[in-house]
Amino acid sequence: MAFWNRISRPYPLITSSIPVIRQRRPLSMAQAPAWLKPVLSDTSVPPTLYAWTPANLNLPYTPQRRDIQDESSRIYIIGIGNLGRMYAAYLSLVTPTPPPITLVVHRESLLSQWIENNGVEVTRQGVLHQSKAYDIEYWSEEKPATGPVQQVQPLRNVLVTTKATAAMPSVDRIRGYLDSQSTVAFAQNGMSKLWPPHGSAYMTHRYPNGNGFNALLCVTNHGVLSEGPFKSLHAAPANVSIGSVFPGHDVSQNYLAQQILAAPFIDAKAFPTADLWVVQLEKLVVNACLNPLTALLRQKNGFIFQNPDGPIIKVLDCIIAEASAVLQALAKSDASTSILASSESDIAILRQTLVERFSFDKLRSLVYAVGEKVKENRSSMLQDVCAGKGTEIRDFNGWFVDMATFLDPSIDVSTNQKLVELIENGAAQLDETSLSQSMLK
């Protein structure tokens, strides 16, 4: 799905200027989003974590050979769901020498399942990629009672492939093992929480000496489905856009970024920070449209677009209109200044260009184009709802609600707010008419 266009190309001179919307006061606790408030009020020391392996469960386990040099190149993958397996499988195919990889699981029982299974298995276009040449660990504050006792070591390369809701809590938990020599790459749906306007508040609070980690972003467009423990189907090969969240960091000099760029089948391309921000914003709009509607309707993506004059299209247009209003306000806000300043283009021209790019018509065309490409797919939120799992609705539609509150509370985001409520309240399957009535009344 290589449909994202870069913005760092020359644009025709636009003579009209757009006033910058300025936030008149620094971020207060009341303005902080729900994920950030407990962080800002927490002054506790980072937890000590122990690296459990199957050996701590009296299971046969021989770790890969490790030395000091190995640790500087080792990649820790946190979250071994579909994306974690995909990245693990393809990173292990990097030539001429793949990086050492440790899989970090979130439950102790997964250590036992690892021993019982055949390792990571990813099938792509009928070809199985299977390997057990990984270390595997479960990080716990509890000290193992049996087997080797090993604390988590300083972390240099971390790839976080959890759901969006778990990404920042997972990284915050390991903050005691991260510093300015560490790189953390995030591969989630939704917007990175480290973007302005809130990312700097997190980094300043947790790393007051300015020794925080370098943050990479992997906007991942691949479609991957689960086929069992440690086993996935790479159903819709696509691409990855990778770059630094913080301006001024060169991914060409970053070891973790270079490994991801070199991995076969990931099809990763490096983007400057400003371009990456726009890529993720546009993908967020698509996710905020397709995911909740398909989850509530219990239908594949293409169902939304079957009736051009139907009630679901009216709901879709409301979602897009609200998203457009929020993104245009963000483009005009000083909250975006640091990102736009990292581009070589004139900031005033970029603001104008983005206001046009985030128009209702442009975003609607984007949603329809992507919808056509993925019409036979089941959205991740539909899969989560059918499996009885938590969803990423707060990181999709909830992001627009939170950002509107921060930028301008007068922006109407009522449709997105209703979608959040319906999904979080566990709404039963709805048909087109009942969904439209619930949303537009």
Percent of the chain topping pLDDT 90: 83
Q: What stretch of H or E contains 330? A: helix 311-332
Ranges of each domain in the chain = 30-271, 276-440
- CATH topology for 276-440? N-(1-d-carboxylethyl)-l-norvaline Dehydrogenase; domain 2 (1.10.1040)
In the predicted model, is pLDDT for residue 94 greater than 70? yes
Are 137 and 53 in contact, with CB atoms under 8 Å apart? yes
Strand partners, 268: 240
The active-site residue out of 283, 332, 362, 375 is 283
Active site residue 418: no
Pairing state of beta strands 240-244 and 214-220?
A: antiparallel
By mean pLDDT, which of 91-100, 179-188, 213-222, 246-255 is the weakest? 246-255
Q: How far apart are CA 184 and CA 160, in angstroms?
A: 7
Nearest to 54 by CA among 125, 109, 119: 109
Superfamily of domain 30-271: NAD(P)-binding Rossmann-like Domain (3.40.50.720)
Q: Using a cut of 0.85, tell me whether the model's pTM lies above it.
A: yes
State the pLDDT at residue 411. Answer: 98
Closest-CA residue to 171 (of 181, 187, 158, 180) = 158
Cα end-to-end distance, the chain, whole Å: 35
* Confidence band for 344, pLDDT divided at 50, 70 and 90: confident
Could you tell me what percent of the chain has a pLDDT over 70? Answer: 92
Look at 354 and 5; give whichever has higher pLDDT: 354
Hey, do 30-271 and 276-440 end up sharing a CATH topology, with the first three levels equal?
Answer: no
357-382 pLDDT per residue, tens? 999 999 999 999 999 998 998 899 99
The continuous run of DSSP H or E covering 234 comes out as strand 231-236
Instruction: Tell me if 91 sits within 8 A of 75, measured CB to CB.
Output: yes
- The per-residue pLDDT for 436 is 92
What is the residue-averaged pLDDT of the chain?
Answer: 91
Residues 286-339 pLDDT 10s: 999 999 999 999 999 999 999 999 999 999 999 999 999 999 999 999 999 999
